[in-house]
Amino acid sequence: MSIKITGLGSYIPKRNVKNTDFENHEFLNQDGSVFKHNNAIIVKKFKAITGIEQRKYVQEGVTSTDIAFWSAEKAISDAGIEPETLDYIIVAHNFGEVRDNCNQTDIIPSIASRVKNKLRIKNNNCVAYDLIFGCPGWVEAVIHARAFMLAGMAKRCLVIGTETLSKVVDPHDRDSMIYADGAGAAIIEKTPDDIPGGIFSCKTASFTFDESAFIFNGKSYNPNTDNEALYIKMYGRKIYEFALTQVPLAMKACLDESPFEIDQVSKILIHQANEKMDEAIVKRFYGLYDKEMPEGCMPMSITDLGNSSVATVPTLYDLIVKNQLPPHRIEKGDVLILASVGAGMNINAIVYQH
């Protein structure tokens, strides 16, 4: 038995927000004080560190459920299946359904249940649930789907990553420039043994002893705003050091459990969090094998799409397969590593043959 991705779909929001759009923001330090540099310098340094030039935000009135549903429709169509044949719908997110001008999380009912409703699925045995696992949520949801199939509990799953981070960021925090909106979906299926490829190995770990609050919800940096409202916050330096140490080790453990060698890896689809951090992670991963990082092995979408959390890996995969991220291509038989790191702190990796 093989377990393969048979359909992909993504939704990239229409609203384009450039770095220069932040030059009139009032960015503040954590204590509420004003930065010594003006915003033009802050934005320039931000681009140099993260690689982000612009990001995508949803239009007014559009929610995480909407974009999850739209990406799911595309994945279902791409796989050529009927929605009624799905055994599980697993939706990864971190903030639930957030409406305009209100950053309160709504997770009743779950986004997965809402998506199943929008797909008009009557099959009560199609189980719908949400997964909150930080930015690695979609990769972890694929691991869940695989586990259900290995246990004989499922034959076909819909796995979605969706987020509208633009609705939960503090406009006075310069880190808010990192975040974006988006959704990506995949159909995961059992396939006959004579069909090559699929998922060969997985690795997941949660670091919570000292690291659990590296990403957290906190008050606005503007002391004059509503003190009850909470926004996504992070300790960037701690995350960078953590990711640089732990993610390459997880990727290596995953690859070593597969039948493939490092030289057989075609692409590494890593969570698009920070261009310099991702490049450092992949270089260190190859260094664990005394290898140089090959040119073109790490496709990046963060420059134009920003960090859409759980949506970055499936969106990246979909764009490459649909030939929308030239010159990158993924051919049949290519060996891929999917990897992510995020709030929790959680890390994971999958070795997959396309």
The string of DSSP codes covering 180-227 is: -EEEEEEEEEEE-TTS--EEEEEEEEE--SS-TTSEEEE--S-TTS-T
Whether residue 83 is preceded by a cis peptide bond, meaning omega within 30 degrees of 0, is no
- DSSP-derived secondary structure for 296-323: TSS---HHHH-B-GGGHHHHHHHHHHTT
In angstroms, rounded to a whole number, what is the distance separating the alpha carbons of residues 324 and 113?
Answer: 31
In angstroms, rounded to a whole number, what is the distance separating the alpha carbons of residues 271 and 254?
Answer: 16
Q: Which of 80, 254, 88 is nearest to 155 (CA)?
A: 88
Domains identified in the chain and CATH numbers: 2-191 (3.40.47.10), 198-353 (3.40.47.10)
Residue pair 326/17 in contact (Cβ under 8 Å)? The answer is no
Tens of pLDDT, residue by residue, the chain (354 residues)? 799 999 999 999 999 999 989 888 888 888 788 887 788 888 888 898 899 999 999 999 999 999 999 999 999 999 999 999 999 999 999 999 998 877 678 888 999 999 999 999 999 999 999 999 999 999 999 999 999 999 999 999 999 999 999 999 988 888 899 999 999 999 999 988 777 899 999 999 999 999 999 999 888 888 887 667 888 899 989 999 999 999 999 999 999 999 999 999 999 999 998 999 999 999 999 999 999 999 999 999 999 999 999 999 999 999 999 999 999 999 999 999 999 999 989 999 999 999
In Å, how far from its chain's centre is CA 197?
23
Q: Which of 233, 257, 95 is nearest to 164 (CA)?
A: 95
In angstroms, rounded to a whole number, what is the distance separating the alpha carbons of residues 219 and 295?
Answer: 42
Q: What is the pTM of this model?
A: 0.93
Residue with tokens 């060698």: 261
- Bridge partner residues of 7 (DSSP): 187
Please give the structure tokens belonging to residue 60: 């007014």
